[in-house]
Amino acid sequence: MRTKIGLIAIVAFVVSFSAYALPPGEPPPEPPPKINDCSPGFWKNHQDWWVGVGLFCADGGCASIVLTELQSKGKDSGDRRHVAADALNTWADGYYKYLICTD
């Protein structure tokens, strides 16, 4: 159950960050090119780059949920870590607008 709640929070974080409305009949625009493809280990070890993450959470608590997912171990933990890293990569592309992970 805790895993589901964490994944739902991460998905909600990404959706709320990237949500927008289109006029009826308009095709969605092409997504911008992906800038960051940082690994889960990068995000876990470089929390100093998480400066604005709390701005996109309804209660400001999603950063701790994402960190918990990045530190997860056991069954399906690899998938959970990568979902969390993808959410942070999407956020970083919009917040920083430049490449932050070079290692």
- The residue range of the domain holding 74 is 2-17+35-95
| 93 vs 76: CA distance, rounded Å | 26
Which amino acid, one-letter code, is at 95? Y
Whether residue 52 is contained in a domain is answered as yes
Whether residue 44 is contained in a domain is answered as yes
pLDDT in tens, 17-68: 444 566 778 887 777 778 888 999 998 998 888 877 766 666 667 788 888 8
Please work out, in degrees rounded to the nearest 5, the angle formed at the alpha carbon of residue 45 by the alpha carbons of 39 and 50. Answer: 85
Whether residue 78 is contained in a domain is answered as yes
* pLDDT at 81 (0 to 100): 92
Whether residue 23 is contained in a domain is answered as no
pLDDT in tens, 56-102: 666 667 788 888 899 999 888 888 999 989 988 888 888 888 888 87
Whether residue 87 is contained in a domain is answered as yes
- Number of structural domains (the chain) is 1
* pLDDT at 5 (0 to 100): 54
Give residue 103's pLDDT band: very low, low, confident or very high (50, 70, 90). low
pTM over 0.85? The answer is no
* pLDDT at 17 (0 to 100): 47
